[in-house]
Amino acid sequence: MSETKIRLYVDQPLGPGQAVRLSPEQTHYLTGVMRLAVGAQVLLFNGQDGEWRAALVETGRRGAIAVCDQLTRPLAMPPDLWLIFAPIKKARTDFIVEKAVELGVRRILPVQTRHTNSERIRQDRLQAHAVEAAEQCGATWVPEVAELQPLDKLLAPWPADRRLYWCDEAAAGAPAHITGDPGASAILIGPEGGFAETEAKRLRAMPGVTPLSLGPRILRADTAAVAAITLWQAACGDWR
């Protein structure tokens, strides 16, 4: 059988000898775009059972069937880090989701703030972007992209055991570093217009919130997300 590096996310159990029916879209990609035929190998993962090598045993209009042969990588969960961000323009929001998956977060939570420019998102489309990013970067876990919710609603029941790093543009110029243990954490990125004073006041008053500077310059929201996750991963995550 020919080797392949094509990875696909499937919402089905994986295990020795397990047959998996691929979706029509996945089948078209494999047979119509990549020109794979029966006998070709693909890599499958589902966010639970690790990554499995599988061989195509059938290709048809109802969808190809692949049979799992060997576990190639066990499930590797990312650190318990959430990314909370205010959606911005469509392409840049897509970028944030994609890079969050590549850099390693466990949940992605879009929030509506006072100055958020985007009043709605397509959660299903962003989840699909997360899946595509996981397929490309070799991740065996796909973070959940939650539905958009007001920031106040998210903060109201904030768990006491989860540290919240608030990327505060007012702190620009302070040392850009993260300290602490690698426990449950979250990073909060604001909108292009920054946080409203009422939001900033609430965050300053919350226990377990650490204002975070990202250096001497004010970063765009998408740049800030990448910078903050990188800092956390280097200090507390699985990059150490």
Tell how strand 19-21 and strand 65-73 pair up. antiparallel
Per-residue pLDDT reduced to its tens digit, 118-176: 778 899 999 999 999 999 999 999 999 999 999 999 999 899 999 999 998 877 666 66
CB distance 190 to 221 below 8 Å: yes
**Same domain flag for 128 and 223:** yes
What domain range is 89 assigned to? 81-236
Higher pLDDT pick, 66 / 212: 66
Instruction: Place 206 in a pLDDT band, splitting at 50, 70 and 90.
Output: very high
CB distance 76 to 137 below 8 Å: no
Q: Residue 40: which CATH number?
A: 2.40.240.20
| DSSP codes of every residue in 49-94 | S-EEEEEEEE--TT--EEEEEEEEE---PPPSEEEEE---SHHHHH
| DSSP codes of every residue in 155-170 | HTT--TTSEEEEE-GG
**What is the reported pTM?**
0.93
Per-residue pLDDT reduced to its tens digit, 56-114: 999 987 889 999 999 999 999 999 999 999 999 989 999 999 999 999 999 999 999 99
Assess whether pLDDT exceeds 60 at residue 2: no
The last residue of one of the domains, among 21, 50, 73, is 73
Q: Residue 73's pLDDT is what?
A: 96
The last residue of one of the domains, among 52, 73, 94, is 73
Q: Residue 173's pLDDT is what?
A: 62
Assess whether pLDDT exceeds 70 at residue 33: yes
CB distance 155 to 202 below 8 Å: yes
2 part of a folded domain? no
91 part of a folded domain? yes
Instruction: Place 4 in a pLDDT band, splitting at 50, 70 and 90.
Output: low
- In the chain, the amino acid numbered 223 is T
Instruction: Place 1 in a pLDDT band, splitting at 50, 70 and 90.
Output: very low
Share of the chain above pLDDT 90, in %: 78
Higher pLDDT pick, 170 / 14: 14
CA–CA gap between residue 42 and residue 66 (Å, rounded)? 8
Q: Is 99 left (phi over 0), alpha (psi -120 to 50) or beta?
A: alpha
105 part of a folded domain? yes
Q: Residue 28's pLDDT is what?
A: 94
Assess whether pLDDT exceeds 80 at residue 181: no
**Same domain flag for 94 and 205:** yes
CB distance 161 to 183 below 8 Å: yes
Instruction: Place 180 in a pLDDT band, splitting at 50, 70 and 90.
Output: low
